[in-house]
Amino acid sequence: MFMEGKKGLIVGVANNHSIAYGIAKAIKEAGGDFILTYQNEKLKKRVAKVADQLGVETILPLDFSKEGELTQLREEVEKIYPQLDFIVHSVAFAPREALDGRFLDTSKEAFKIAMDISVYSLIELVREFEPLLKEGSSIVTMTYLGANRYIPHYNVMGVAKSALETSIYYMAVDLGAKGVRINGISAGPVKTLAASGIGDFSQILSYNKKNSPLRRNITIDEVGKAGVFLLSDYSSGITGEILYVDSGYHIMGMPLYEKEKENK
């Protein structure tokens, strides 16, 4: 129970198929406690169901597009946990039309939305909660290979994830002076609510499975274990890193192929 006694905040659980759910479940199994957030009333029931499953007592609203809601969240969290040991940020969004067609045709409005919700949300979340973060605390956010490789239908989200990863590097220096760490997990493709907005996602899953060194896709439980590692004291010397949990897919320089049979 190496998260025993640790208290935190998890932002971005949508249901029990979310990557953030995998991390939340692993934290609970390791003895940690946390508060969950929900974006709106539509998602509140889903998050409440997850909270019941995991034995989480408190869920609070947080919509990054609503002015003042982040400050209200911090005030409510502080009443329950005056200090935090960890934060999990698993938030990303781009208008659906920005994930189709050419990247060149991305509208300025779609670009702003993707950067605001997928990148700046991490910056303002950490800045707001910085006074509550204990020395030795840890922050984890979620990224994807599309940050530094071309991925079909990922478009503006790839650019947003690239900005997110760069933000991690700069924030690691800012926070490191106070003994606080921040890292990212680059997870392989997983069937989640967010992934449903990516075109031909089933083909992406199939391709990754065939061409990863482990010849399979990952699970949210595997991401959860990696998340607990980065949030725990076992990773106390690690900050500003991107940990790939993708069955090794990111190392591949070309697709795998089967050797032709000798009789051909």
Residue 62 lies in a domain: yes
Q: In the predicted model, is pLDDT for residue 263 greater than 50?
A: no
Residue 106 lies in a domain: yes
Task: Scan for tokens 């991690």, then name that residue.
Answer: 168
Q: In the predicted model, is pLDDT for residue 195 greater than 90?
A: no
Average pLDDT of span 144-170: 96
Residue 163 lies in a domain: yes
What token pair was written down for 103? 């990247």
Q: In the predicted model, is pLDDT for residue 199 greater than 60?
A: no
The pLDDT assigned to 260 comes to 44
Q: What are the beta bridge partners of residue 61?
A: 38
Residue 233 lies in a domain: yes
Domain around 197: 7-249
Residue 264 lies in a domain: no
The pLDDT assigned to 192 comes to 64
Query: How many Å apart are CA 170 and CA 190, to the nearest integer?
Result: 28
Q: In the predicted model, is pLDDT for residue 73 greater than 50?
A: yes
Report how many domains make up the chain: 1
Average pLDDT of span 208-229: 95
Q: What is the CATH number of the domain that holds 152?
A: 3.40.50.720
Q: In the predicted model, is pLDDT for residue 197 greater than 60?
A: no
Residue 125 lies in a domain: yes
Among residues 245, 244, 221, 231, which one has the least CA distance to residue 2?
A: 231
| pLDDT tens-digit readout, 220-251 | 999 999 999 999 999 999 999 999 999 999 99
| pLDDT tens-digit readout, 95-105 | 999 998 999 99
Question: What value does the mean pLDDT of the chain take?
Answer: 93
Q: Please state whether 153 falls in left (phi above 0), alpha (psi between -120 and 50) or beta.
A: left
Residue 83 lies in a domain: yes
Residue 256 lies in a domain: no
The pLDDT assigned to 264 comes to 46
Average pLDDT of span 32-40: 96
The pLDDT assigned to 259 comes to 54
The pLDDT assigned to 196 comes to 55
The catalytic residues are 144, 154
Query: How many Å apart are CA 251 and CA 253, to the nearest integer?
Result: 7
